[in-house]
C-alpha cells in the first residue's frame, strides 16, 4: 500500500519476494519478517538512494508520483518555473537539441525554464571559499541528499563535518524566487529520487513545491503527446550557467569551482557509487586526521546515472554526452554577463544546517549471531563460505542482520539449497507413503463397496420382509424421527401418510409426534428414556383399536414398534384364539390350584378320621369294658 509521506515504498501487489531489494540496500532499511507476506521499506531508515528501485525486476519498488501535483500547479494559473538538472544530456540523448527539450517543457505549460547549472556555479564557489577557510577542519559535500541522509542516520558523529551549504536545486530555486517573487511555483526535474525528500525540508518557504524525475517527465510528454517534431526550439531563461553544466560528473562541481584536482596539490577526494562511498565515509570517520582531505561524495556514479532515469548503463558514453553538452553551453556563454549574475546572486544566503537522526541498531550479542549461524548451517567456521549471494559481505554480517530482525534465513543461498534437498527427500518419503496410503485406500474402498452392496442387499431384504408383515412396523430415533417403516404402518396412520411416502420413502425423517396422538408417541418416549419394553398395549386411534408393542433396539437411541389392527379379521381371529387360550390357561391354572387345595384337604380329613377311629378302638378294648 502506498504511504503518502514515504518517498520509496513496495507495491505488495507486484512483489514476488525475490529479496533483491534487501540484498542491495546499503543501510538495511528493508525489513523482512516471517509474519509478513512481503518485505517493507522502513521510511525512517531509508536514505532514498534508489538501489532497490533499480534492482527490483518485477517493478514492485515504486516512488512517490508527483505528476498529479505538477499538473495541478500548471492548471492553477500560477506562474511556474521548471528547474532542469544538467543531466538532461545524459538522459535525453534521443532529443537532437537541448532547445527542443526546453520547447517541450514549455509546451507542458511552464512559464519559465531554468537550468540548474547556474545554481551549481553558485554552490561551487561557496565550496571553494569554505574549503579555503576551513583551517584544518575537513568537510563532506552535501549536494547529494542520499549522502546527507546516510551521515545523519548512520554516522551522526560526522554531522558537524557536513558542508553547511544547500544543494544546487535549492540555490536555483532561490534565484528564481528573487527574479519572479515568492508566488512563483518551482518544480525541479532531474535524475534523483531522494531529492523529493530534500524538497520537503523547505516546505515552510515553498522553495521547491514539486519534484519530477526524468521518468515522470517522459510520462508527461507521452500523456500530452508532446514530441520533438511538434515543438519549436526554445532557450533556457537566464541566468545561464558556466561549468556547472559538468555537475553530472562526480567531480564536476570541483571543476565548476576551479578547485585544483591534481594528485599533489588537491585538497579534495572524490568518491562515487555505493561501495566506494561507504568505504570513504568509514575512512573519513576513522582516519581523517591522517587523510586530511575534504570529501566530495555522490552516492550514484555521478548524476548521469541517477535512479530516476530510464536507463542506468553506458556510463562512459553518457560521460561523453555530458562533456559535449557542457562544452557547447560554455562556448556560447556571455562570460561578462555570467560574472555579473554571479556577483548579484552570491549575496543569497545558501547556508543550511543538519541534524543527527541516529537510526543505528545496536549490534546483536555473539550468542544471537551464533544462533542464526547454527540455523543456516554455518555454526562451524569452516562452513562460512562468505559467498555474498545474500547481498552481505560475510556470513556473520548476514547473521547479524537476521539477529537484528531485518532479514530472514531464507535469504542464504546454501541454507535454501540444504532446505531444498531436505524438502526433496521429505517429498520422496511422503510420495512413498502416499502411494502406500493410496493402495490401502483403494483396498478400503473396494471393501467398503462390498460392505455397502451387502448392506444394501440386507436393507432391501429387510424392507421386503417388513412390507410382507401383516402388522405395522416403525423404527424411530431418540427424537422420535422415523428411521424405517413398512407399508402396513402407512395404511394404519392414514392415506395422507401414503401420499407423502411416495415422495419420501418410508417417511424417513418424519416426526412421529405429527403422525400419532400424544398417548401413543408418549409410550415411545417412555421406552427410549427408561430402556424398557412395553408389550401388547391396546390403544385407540380415532374409531379403531390397535395393539402396540414397543421395545428398545439401541439403548436411549433407537426404538421399534409392532402395531396390530384389532379390527382386522386376521388379528381378530388370532386375538380371540390367543385370548381364549389365555382364559383356558388361567382356568386350568385355577382348577389345578383348587385340586391341589382339595387334595390337601382330603389328606387332612383322612388323617383326622383315622385318628378318631384309632381313639375309639382304644377306648373299646380298655379293662372293665
Q: Give pLDDT tens digits for 144-201.
A: 999 999 999 999 999 999 999 999 999 999 999 999 999 999 999 999 999 999 999 9
- Assess whether 181 and 142 both reside in one domain: yes
Q: Which residue has the higher pLDDT, 407 or 511?
A: 511
562-573: per-residue pLDDT in tens? Answer: 988 877 776 556
Last residue of a domain, which of 547, 567, 587?
A: 567
Confidence of residue 450 (pLDDT cuts 50, 70, 90): confident
- Assess whether 211 and 293 both reside in one domain: yes
Candidates 298, 304, 330, 302; CA nearest to 118 is: 330
pLDDT of residue 591: 44
pLDDT of residue 155: 96
pLDDT of residue 420: 66
Last residue of a domain, which of 293, 314, 345?
A: 345
Candidates 540, 544, 546, 556; CA nearest to 476 is: 556
Any domain includes 301 = yes
Dihedral, CA atoms, 198, 199, 202, 203, nearest 10 degrees?
-130
Q: Which residue has the higher pLDDT, 7 or 624?
A: 7
pLDDT of residue 96: 87
- Residues 6 or more apart from 177 whose CB is under 8 A from it? 184, 186, 207
- Assess whether 395 and 296 both reside in one domain: no
pLDDT of residue 377: 77
Does residue 618 carry a pLDDT above 90?
A: no
Query: Taking the CB of residue 563, how many other CB atoms lie within 10 A of it?
Result: 21
pLDDT of residue 361: 85
Per-residue burial over 279-309, b if 16 or more Cβ lie within 10 Å, else e, is ebbeebeeebeeeebbbbbbbbbbbbbbbbb
- Assess whether 388 and 480 both reside in one domain: no
pLDDT of residue 497: 73
Any domain includes 72 = yes
| Cell, residue 295 | 570529501
| Cell, residue 137 | 577542519
Mean pLDDT of 279-307: 94
- Assess whether 532 and 383 both reside in one domain: no
Q: Which residue has the higher pLDDT, 312 or 49?
A: 49
Mean pLDDT of 305-315: 91
Through-space distance between the first and last CA atoms of the chain, rounded to whole angstroms:
145
Query: Could you write out the DSSP letters of every residue in 152-164?
Result: HHH-GGGGGGB--
417-429: per-residue pLDDT in tens? Answer: 777 666 677 777 8
Least confident of 84-88, 220-224, 456-460, 610-614: 610-614
- Assess whether 276 and 407 both reside in one domain: no
Beta bridge partners of 167: none
| Average pLDDT over all residues of the chain | 85
Does residue 414 carry a pLDDT above 90?
A: no
Any domain includes 55 = no
pLDDT of residue 609: 53
pLDDT of residue 607: 59
Q: Cα angle at 180 between 175 and 181, to 5 degrees?
A: 95
Q: Which residue has the higher pLDDT, 485 or 125?
A: 125
Confidence of residue 595 (pLDDT cuts 50, 70, 90): very low
Beta bridge partners of 293: none
Last residue of a domain, which of 514, 545, 567?
A: 567
CA distance linking residue 173 with residue 82, whole number of Å: 10
- What percentage of the chain reaches a pLDDT higher than 70? 86
Confidence of residue 317 (pLDDT cuts 50, 70, 90): very high
- Assess whether 512 and 407 both reside in one domain: no
Beta bridge partners of 185: 80
**3-state SS assignment for residue 293:** coil
- Residues 6 or more apart from 247 whose CB is under 8 A from it? 85, 86, 87, 116, 117, 120, 168, 253, 256, 303
Mean pLDDT of 273-280: 94
- Assess whether 290 and 403 both reside in one domain: no
CATH code of the domain covering residue 514: 3.30.450.20
Any domain includes 289 = yes
Q: Which residue has the higher pLDDT, 35 or 231?
A: 231
- What percentage of the chain reaches a pLDDT higher than 90? 51
Confidence of residue 520 (pLDDT cuts 50, 70, 90): confident
- Assess whether 186 and 311 both reside in one domain: yes
pLDDT of residue 352: 96
Does residue 114 carry a pLDDT above 70?
A: yes
Any domain includes 433 = no
**3-state SS assignment for residue 226:** coil
**3-state SS assignment for residue 211:** strand
CA distances from 93 to 221, 305, 475 (A): 15, 13, 92
How many domains in the chain?
Answer: 3
Q: Which residue has the higher pLDDT, 201 or 587?
A: 201
Candidates 24, 27, 1; CA nearest to 12 is: 1
- Assess whether 370 and 513 both reside in one domain: no
pLDDT of residue 214: 97
pLDDT of residue 583: 47
Does residue 227 carry a pLDDT above 70?
A: yes
242 alpha carbon, distance to own chain's centre = 52
Any domain includes 32 = no
Interhelix angle 117-132/168-180, nearest 10 degrees? 120
For the ranges 128-132, 400-404, 529-533, the one whose mean pLDDT is highest = 128-132
pLDDT of residue 585: 55
Does residue 358 carry a pLDDT above 80?
A: yes
Least confident of 443-452, 506-515, 614-623: 614-623
pLDDT of residue 579: 58
Mean pLDDT of 18-29: 89
- Assess whether 95 and 166 both reside in one domain: yes
Any domain includes 237 = yes
Any domain includes 517 = yes
Question: Dihedrals φ, ψ of 400, to 5°?
Answer: -65, -40
- Residue labelled with grid coordinates 534521443: 94
The boundaries of the domain holding residue 500 are: 470-567
- Assess whether 127 and 262 both reside in one domain: yes
Amino acid at each position: 500500500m502506498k504511504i503518502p509521506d514515504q518517498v520509496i515504498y513496495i507495491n505488495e501487489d507486484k512483489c514476488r519476494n525475490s529479496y533483491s531489494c534487501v540484498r542491495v540496500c546499503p543501510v538495511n532499511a528493508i525489513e523482512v519478517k516471517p509474519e509478513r507476506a512481503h518485505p517493507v521499506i522502513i521510511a525512517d531508515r531509508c536514505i532514498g538512494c534508489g538501489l532497490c528501485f533499480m534492482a527490483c525486476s518485477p517493478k514492485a519498488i515504486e516512488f512517490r508520483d508527483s505528476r498529479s501535483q505538477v499538473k495541478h500547479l500548471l492548471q492553477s494559473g500560477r506562474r511556474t518555473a521548471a528547474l532542469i538538472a544538467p543531466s538532461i544530456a545524459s538522459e535525453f540523448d534521443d532529443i537532437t537539441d537541448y532547445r527542443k527539450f526546453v520547447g517541450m517543457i514549455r509546451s507542458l505549460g511552464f512559464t519559465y525554464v531554468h537550468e540548474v547549472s547556474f545554481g551549481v556555479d553558485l554552490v561551487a564557489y561557496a565550496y571553494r571559499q569554505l574549503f579555503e577557510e576551513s583551517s584544518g577542519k575537513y568537510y563532506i559535500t552535501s549536494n547529494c541528499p542520499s549522502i546527507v541522509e546516510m551521515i545523519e542516520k548512520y554516522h551522526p558523529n560526522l554531522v558537524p563535518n557536513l558542508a553547511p551549504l544547500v544543494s544546487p536545486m535549492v540555490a536555483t530555486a532561490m534565484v528564481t524566487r528573487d527574479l519572479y517573487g515568492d508566488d512563483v511555483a518551482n518544480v525541479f526535474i532531474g535524475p534523483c529520487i531522494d531529492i523529493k525528500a530534500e524538497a520537503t525540508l523547505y516546505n515552510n518557504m515553498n522553495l521547491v513545491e514539486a519534484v519530477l524525475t526524468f521518468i515522470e517527465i517522459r510520462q508527461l510528454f507521452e500523456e500530452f503527446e508532446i514530441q520533438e517534431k511538434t515543438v519549436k526550439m526554445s532557450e533556457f531563461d537566464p541566468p545561464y550557467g558556466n561549468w556547472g553544466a559538468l555537475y553530472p560528473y562526480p567531480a564536476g562541481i570541483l571543476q565548476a569551482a576551479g578547485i585544483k584536482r591534481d594528485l599533489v596539490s588537491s585538497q579534495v577526494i572524490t568518491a562515487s557509487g555505493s561501495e566506494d562511498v561507504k568505504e570513504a565515509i568509514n575512512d573519513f570517520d576513522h582516519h581523517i586526521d591522517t587523510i586530511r582531505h575534504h570529501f566530495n561524495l555522490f552516492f550514484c556514479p555521478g548524476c548521469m546515472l541517477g535512479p530516476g532515469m530510464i536507463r542506468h548503463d553506458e556510463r562512459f558514453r553518457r560521460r561523453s554526452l555530458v562533456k559535449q553538452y557542457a562544452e557547447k553551453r560554455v562556448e556560447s556563454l556571455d562570460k561578462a554577463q555570467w560574472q555579473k549574475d554571479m556577483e548579484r546572486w552570491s549575496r543569497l544566503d545558501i547556508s543550511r544546517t543538519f541534524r543527527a537522526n541516529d537510526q543505528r541498531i545496536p549490534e546483536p550479542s555473539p550468542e544471537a549471531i551464533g544462533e542464526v549461524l547454527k540455523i543456516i548451517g554455518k555454526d562451524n567456521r569452516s562452513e562460512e563460505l562468505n559467498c555474498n549471494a545474500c547481498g552481505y559481505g560475510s556470513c556473520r554480517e548476514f547473521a547479524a542482520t537476521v539477529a537484528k530482525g531485518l532479514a530472514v534465513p531464507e535469504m542464504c543461498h546454501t541454507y535454501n539449497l540444504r532446505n531444498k534437498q531436505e524438502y526433496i527427500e521429505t517429498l520422496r518419503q511422503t510420495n512413498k507413503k502416499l502411494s502406500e496410503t493410496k493402495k490401502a485406500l483403494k483396498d478400503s474402498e473396494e471393501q467398503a463397496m462390498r460392505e455397502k452392496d451387502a448392506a444394501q442387499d440386507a436393507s432391501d431384504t429387510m424392507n421386503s420382509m417388513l412390507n410382507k408383515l401383516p402388522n405395522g412396523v416403525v423404527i424411530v430415533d431418540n427424537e422420535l424421527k422415523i428411521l424405517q417403516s413398512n407399508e402396513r404402518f402407512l395404511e394404519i396412520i392414514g392415506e395422507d401418510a401414503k401420499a407423502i411416502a411416495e415422495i419420501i420413502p418410508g417417511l424417513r425423517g418424519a416426526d412421529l409426534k405429527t403422525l400419532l396422538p400424544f398417548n401413543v408417541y408418549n409410550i415411545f418416549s417412555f421406552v427410549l428414556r427408561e430402556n424398557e419394553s412395553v408389550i401388547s398395549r391396546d390403544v385407540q386411534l380415532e374409531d379403531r383399536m390397535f395393539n402396540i408393542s414397543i421395545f428398545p433396539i439401541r439403548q436411549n437411541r433407537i426404538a421399534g414398534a409392532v402395531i396390530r389392527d384389532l379390527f382386522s379379521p386376521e388379528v381378530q381371529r388370532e386375538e380371540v384364539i390367543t385370548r381364549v387360550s389365555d382364559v383356558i390357561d388361567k382356568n386350568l391354572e385355577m382348577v389345578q390350584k383348587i385340586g391341589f387345595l382339595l387334595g390337601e384337604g382330603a389328606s387332612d380329613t383322612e388323617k383326622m378320621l383315622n385318628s378318631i377311629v384309632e381313639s375309639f378302638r382304644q377306648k373299646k378294648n380298655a379293662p372293665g369294658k
